[in-house]
Amino acid sequence: MIFAGCDVGSLTAKAVIMKDNEIISSAVVRAGIKPEESALAVFQMALGQAGLHMDDITFSVGTGYGKERIPFVKRSESEISCHARGAFWLMPSVRMIIDIGGQDAKAIKVDDSGKVIRYVYNDKCASGTGRFLEIMADALEVKLEDMGSFSETSEEKITISNQCVIFAETEVVSLINDGKSSCDIINGLHHAMANRVASLAKSIGVSEDVVMTGGVAKNSGVFKALSEGLSVPVKPLNGIDPQLNGALGAALLAADSI
């Protein structure tokens, strides 16, 4: 039997296909304004990589911002359930998952069986999300994917005091005009973002092992800053693109349904 998960977020759409408890294909695409089109695009890409057709899928589960508009899935599940399921399958020692997506940030605690016991999320403000970094990258005229490496060369500690994205952007412009290094500003932004997410996680109690998922987990600067903010090491998910964790969890939940 073949199972699939599709995670349609605000910025990207992801798909994972599994057979015999192994990932046989996966895909990530930039999301468009119509979730159903993004879902079909990423799913067809994953099917093509596996040499499969839609009819070959035994059961599929959808999740993410656009989960109710994925036309081909049999059921939808919350992002909380999917991220917990995926992370625990990859790393049974995990007790907290921090997911930073395009439009929200989540902290999820699980017990030693992988069951969700507490969670909290922020979806009311862009600070602490991937969108925050996108806006700041534009303000600094740097590529989003380069921000992690830039922050690693920072030599001066800069504190970004504004939590609001709009005010933080104004603060960044002022720092640029004051002649501050882009690397130092980026490092300051990473710490400001990480501290906000760390506060979210601390509100439900931090439990090791902690892993970070979502596209922002690819940013080494945020990864390091979050470890400092939590005062515990944040571990990467082994063997998978961190953006795929939600789709992986959806595929596992699809398998659990049979």
**Local confidence pLDDT in tens for the 258 residues of the chain:** 999 999 999 889 999 999 999 999 999 999 999 999 999 999 999 999 999 999 999 999 999 999 999 999 999 999 999 999 999 999 999 999 999 988 889 999 999 999 999 999 986 666 677 888 888 898 899 998 899 999 999 999 998 887 677 778 888 889 988 999 999 999 999 998 899 899 999 999 999 999 999 989 999 999 999 999 999 999 988 889 999 999 999 999 999 998
Shortest CA distance to 214 belongs to which of 56, 136, 108? 108
- With a CB cutoff of 8 Å and minimum separation 6, the contacts of 8 are 14, 31, 35, 38, 39, 42, 62, 63, 64, 65, 66, 67, 69, 70
Would you say domain 1-91+239-258 falls under CATH 3.30.420.40?
A: yes
Instruction: Give the number of other CB atoms < 10 A from CB of residue 245.
Output: 31
Beta-sheet pairing, 22-30 with 234-235: unpaired
**May I ask the CATH class of domain 93-236?**
alpha beta
Residue type, 3: F
What's the confidence (pLDDT) of residue 104?
A: 87
The pTM for the full model equals: 0.92
What's the confidence (pLDDT) of residue 123?
A: 67
What's the confidence (pLDDT) of residue 183?
A: 96
Q: What are the domain boundaries of the chain? A: 1-91+239-258, 93-236
What's the confidence (pLDDT) of residue 168?
A: 83
What's the confidence (pLDDT) of residue 124?
A: 65
Following CA atoms 226, 152, 173, 11 in sequence, which dihedral angle do they give, to the nearest 10 degrees?
A: -60
Instruction: Give the number of other CB atoms < 10 A from CB of residue 208.
Output: 13
Do the beta carbons of residue 236 and residue 167 sit within 8 Å?
no
Tokens of 120: 């909290």
